Each structure stands twice: as structure tokens, then as C-alpha cells.
Structure 1
């Protein structure tokens, strides 16, 4: 899908009419002002417009996972940064998949990004495969800067749902191409270098065919890094390069695939991103906040989900702590920049995680089993409750997703509308309206 990038004065060939029609269907007609950059106060009630919107997605983050992170980090009497936001609610996560009752990340992110329920695996297309406009694209129509930050591949399902449209989330090389040819987010930071280089061109991170999930360059659209540089992106691959760049358009790829090694405990698992999520987010905020029209930024911590898939509680907690440190960075920014809407939410629950007392008689698995699947799902812990002599364990019911609702906390213009039980698609409407100054 090709879109008009008003902010940069670029018009990509083709497809603009389809997006314009989609914007109208979503209730987002132009204000009649140049670039539609000013908030419209009209029908539906007026409210303060959100100059900046930061949506932070903890992939796989459930209420139980948030509580486990809280107990391990600040204890029973403490408060995580994500829990200190003023308004709290929860989101139902059902997709529109004809074969599965439980959502995946692609359908979940599409719901946030577009307000449309779709099938599992779909990236910002409806159940008939038709592209639907995203919050990032709508922000660009208001001439706002935009960014995508993740510890996953930058072309993985969650960031992709804001900056691309494909029927199948696995088509990551096509997603990368659409970032450059169609949506052009100003800042793109994360992993997934393998999808930007063609086979045989290793890029900055050497191919590793011996990895359990081979990490090798596999792009299908030529050298997209070179193409990115040709259209004005500063390409960076290390923390020092990211810190040093002064460009207002940055592509940073810091791993072959994810920025961590997902595996069960003791089987090659590692959470040590080359550039921490908080650092990437701080840089994105610095760059995007220079835009006089404000910005939209999507931030994702993918490792919570991946380690929960592996029933790896120590790494799930570690990734959750990194996510909360990132929320603290965003909250500090929002405190210094009025008109910033901050929303923290999980896209679905992963692992059926439960926080339990330490009880040797309450082990739900079979400690004597040598079956990897059984061993993986045993209780993890005990873990200390910070600031106390108490301990807790983490138990698992699955290596997949569950259909549980996910917690949401928010603060800033329009955040009070999220303090309720709601569908995940409703989050889109609140963020869209906040950017337009509507209630």
C-alpha cells in the first residue's frame, strides 16, 4: 500500500485513494487546514489534543505477569512505573480468526493500530485482506513525526501493524520494503537485520546458520539498508553509533533477529540487548520531540512474550523489569512535555502465568519427567519478594497464548476514556481522538 507522507512532502505512487477512503471510513476526514495539523473541536465534544502519543506494548503482558514483576522488583508495598499512571482499565483480546479462539500478536496489534478485528497472522488488513489505515499513518496526516521501537525484529508483528499492511506476518522482507517505500517512519529501532539484506550479504551481524533457528540474511527486495540510506536514513548498528547520530531519520538494527535469545532456562536463553529498550526509547523521544507538530511512537518489549512461551520465569521477569524501566523514561518525558498521552498495555496473555506460594506439595507438573515440554512447564522459583522475607513461585499452564484480558494503564489527554473494560479495538479510537482533540 502506498501512502501520502504530507509531513515530508513525499507522495509515493499508487494507492493513495484507497487510504483516503479508509481514513474517511474511520471517521478521520481532513480538517480543511493545511496538512490537517490542527486539532478539530466539533461534534463528539472537544478536549485537549494530545500533541504526543506514546503507546507501550508489553507483548504477552498479563495482570499476573505485571504482579510478578512488581513483587520481584519493588515488593508488595512498591509500585512499578507502569502501575503509577493515573488511569487503569483492561482490554479484551479476541481476534476475528475463524479457526482459533485466542489471538496472536499480529491480530492484537492490528486491533490497537487500526481499530479493526482481523484474523491471526494479519498485519493491518481486515478479514478480507484489505488494508486499513493505522495510527501511525493517521499521525502522519497530521504532520506528526513517527517512530517504531522494539526488542523484536522491527518487522515483527507488533511494529509492523503500525507501519505496514500484509496478509501474512511472516512476510517480513515485504514489511521492511513498505517502511521505506510507503510509510517511512522517522525512527525505526530494534532487531531483524536479516530481513533487510539479501542472502549472502551478512550486514553488520554475521550469519549464524548453526543457530537452532538459523539467523541468516534472507531479504527478498535487494539491499534495503542501502535503499534506506539513499532516501535519507542514518543507519546505525551499535549503541555508540545510535548515541552519536544527529539525524532526524534513523534506522537502527542491532541484531540478526530478536535482541535476545529465547529458550527455556539454561538452554541458551539470554536477555542482553546490544542497546537496551530504555536507551532506544530515550533516543527516539529526543529525535521525534524536535518536530513542531508532535509525534506518535510505538514501543514494544517482545521478550516478555517469547520467554513466557518458553515458560522461562527468570527471563520473563528480567524483560518485564526492562520494560518498566522504559515506561519510567517515557513518564519522565511526559512530565516535562505537556500534552503527551502515555498508554501501557499488553496485547495478549502468554503462558497462563500464575503467581503462587512456595509449596512443594503443589507442583502441577512431573519433576521426574524427561520430556522437554513437561520439564519446561514446571513451576519456576522461588523468587524473593523485594523488601521482605517472603518468596513466590511462578506456575505455567501452557507454552502458548491464552484468552485472558490484559491490563492497561494510561495518563495524559484522553486517558480517562481508557479507565474501563473495553475491546482492544477501542484503544485505537481513544488514541485517534486524542490526537484530534476529540472526546
Structure 2
């Protein structure tokens, strides 16, 4: 045995010496195979631009902190222009359609082209390829961004028909968020009463029948409380946790509330538990809608609150990807809302009164420093948005790309 070991060791030493002085032809050194993406988690901070990230970093973590979304190793920028006849500034429907189909279209369109023809969507394509699929949002589950991945509509407001398409056509395995009103006929309140005190305009308004009953008949577990969500087992899952959005986006100090019945990180974790049982992999779309809605209100503190929940959600996705290296995680915003900049406190600058003005001063965590969030509009802007990613093919998001590039990267993974 000792002789054999010596011979092997000598052979290795000789081989090493030869390789250091002359190339070896005809023999390729084997390298460990790079992980192939089997799962995709795509996370949308609706309305989130670079300044939203920086304000959240300073407020929640301080000058030396780093958000979970900014710790992802690959980063780039996405342009957001739609193909709209009257505006160069996108809405969420056109922005998400670019991601979900690889085609630019008009504002208000849900995965249809400019001639109103339906386009194949990533969610439906992933399902057809045998993958599990899901969506999680703090908006209505039928709102523009999630809808673009799983439905087609010439008008984003057709939310009851979008819900019907989920059940009849694209069939996502997990659907979690708000928007119970669109799943029930007018006059048929569900777990969340019609015309609640927080917003008297909220009430059941569907026109496609009782879609919750139909979902149950199609094999979905239906849940509407945190306890029910926690107890839900494997299999298809529909969870609706609000009449409309899972927050109240009223003007600052006038009924604005961000207290989702179930947090975005919790919903995301549950979705991953269910989808990860599919041996063929999965596609999960996740969205924090409140960033956009509160930025429309120029509401700094609620925007920062929503940003933190988004970042905690990214941490959940990153932890999953760390344990499953065949998972690609991508974080982006569909557009920027508010024309936000992060500025020093300057009494000679704007007073901060009214909309589209400075909001603050706000504390920089762990210091005596303060900053202001200066809004220039209550609408969307044409700013590029940052994108960060980790996992197989994450490096393809490096550089500046049109928002349709998301589809170009994800479609081959999800349909392969």
C-alpha cells in the first residue's frame, strides 16, 4: 500500500511539473459545472427608483448599512419607456407587460400588443413548461403588475376577468394578496365587509360570479386570515387578505395606514414552501405595491415603511437562493414614482409644505444626521430604475438595458 501511494504521489508531482513548463494538448481540465437556473423569484418594488433605495438605507440601516436588495452581487439599470401614443412615461401595466412578454405596449394594457392582440406571458409559459407558478402582492392580486404575468386584457381595470383567467387559463398554483372585492359579485361581501370605515368605497364588485367558490371547486385552498395561511398545506392556494390593497394610501396624516393583515415576507415564505415541492422548479412573482401608492401621495414615512418590508422580503428570497443555488432572484422597480431625490436639510431650500415638496427632516439611523426626501411630482417619471440579481445568469443584468430585457433573460430559463 505504501508503494502504491508513493507512485501516485510521484505521478501527481510529475504532472504538476510538466503543466508548469509546457501546455498539455488534447486534454481539457474539468471545472465544476455552474448551477443551472431551475427556479426564478422576480421581485417588483412598484414605483421604486434609486432614491427610494437610498432613503430606505439611510433611514433603516444608517450610513454604513446595506439593504438586502443592494447586497445582491450583480446590478444594472432598466429603461422604462412604453410604446404609448400619448405618453413617454409608463404606467405599471405597460411596465409589467414589457417584463412579462418582452414587448412594449400602451399604458393600461395587460400583456396585449399595441393592436390589442394577446401576447404569451412568462407565467403561462412557465406553467406550460411544467413549472409551478405563483404571485404574491400587497396590491389586489389582479392588479396590473401581477396580472401582466398571468393574464391578457386590453384594459387593466378588468380585474374580475383577470381573476377568471387565473382560474380558467393560466392557473397559478399560489395566489396571495388583496382584492377580494373582484372575486365576489356585487352585494356578496366575503371575509372583508363591504364599505369598511377605513374606505367606504370598497365593496364587492365582480361580474364573473363567485370566483372564490369556483376556485375551491378547482382545487384551491382558500384562506383569508394569518392563522389560515399558516395552517394551509401543500397544493393550490388562494389567499385574499383585503377588499382592495392591503393598506390605505390616503394623504399623509389623513387615514394613511400600512398594516397588512399578513406581511409580504410571510406570504412570500409560504409561497416558496408550496412552490418548492415541484421537482421541475417554479416561477414566483412578488410585489410591494405600497411604495408606488405612498410615493404618489408624497408620503415619505409610509414609503419608507413599505421599502423596509420589501427589503425583508428580498432577504427571504436571498436566504432561499443561498440554500438552493439553482434559484435566480431579480429585484427591480417597474418605474419611478414621485421624482424623488435625497437631500441635505437646508432651511433655505423648500419649506416642505404641500405636495411635491420636501418631506422630513428624517433621521439617519445611528447618527445625529438628518436628511430630506424631496418630491418633484405625484406621478410617475421616466427615470431608469436599478435592478439587482443573484443566482444563475444574474450577470446578464449588468449594464443598462430596456425593461424588455427581463423577458429576454427569464423566458429561456422558464421555458427550457
TM-score by length of 1: 0.86
Matching of residues 32-431 of structure 1 within 5 Å: 48-208=35-195, 214-363=201-350, 367=353, 375-431=354-410
Counterparts of 1:213 and 1:52, CA distance in 2 = 41
Counterparts of 2:194 and 2:331, CA distance in 1 = 35
User: What is the SS of the residue equivalent to 1:103?
Assistant: coil
Counterparts of 1:434 and 1:184, CA distance in 2 = 20
By how many angstroms is 1:392 displaced? 0.3
Aligned pairs, number: 384
User: What is the SS of the residue equivalent to 1:215?
Assistant: coil
Counterpart position of 1:371: none
| Residue pair 1:234, 1:247 contacting (<8 A) in 2 also | no
Counterparts of 1:254 and 1:73, CA distance in 2 = 27
Counterpart position of 1:25: none
Counterparts of 2:216 and 2:133, CA distance in 1 = 18
| Residue pair 1:49, 1:436 contacting (<8 A) in 2 also | no
Stretches of structure 2 that go unaligned for 5 or more consecutive residues are 1-32
By how many angstroms is 1:436 displaced? 5.3
Q: CA RMSD in A?
A: 1.4
Counterparts of 1:306 and 1:254, CA distance in 2 = 18
Counterpart position of 1:434: 413
By how many angstroms is 1:212 displaced? 5.2
By how many angstroms is 1:380 displaced? 1.0
Counterparts of 1:129 and 1:251, CA distance in 2 = 29
By how many angstroms is 1:135 displaced? 1.0
| Residue pair 2:122, 2:414 contacting (<8 A) in 1 also | no
Residue by residue over 1:248-282, the C-alpha shift from the partner in whole angstroms, topping out at 9 and shown as x without a partner, is 10000000000000022111000000000000000
| Residue pair 1:263, 1:312 contacting (<8 A) in 2 also | no
By how many angstroms is 1:378 displaced? 2.9
Residue by residue over 1:207-247, the C-alpha shift from the partner in whole angstroms, topping out at 9 and shown as x without a partner, is 01766561010000010000000010000000100000103
TM-score by length of 2: 0.90
Q: Structure 1 runs of 4+ off > 6 angstroms?
A: none
Counterparts of 2:147 and 2:415, CA distance in 1 = 23
Counterparts of 2:132 and 2:366, CA distance in 1 = 42
User: What is the SS of the residue equivalent to 1:362?
Assistant: coil
Counterparts of 2:162 and 2:120, CA distance in 1 = 15
Counterparts of 2:322 and 2:138, CA distance in 1 = 25
Stretches of structure 1 that go unaligned for 5 or more consecutive residues are 1-45, 368-374
| Residue pair 2:112, 2:153 contacting (<8 A) in 1 also | yes
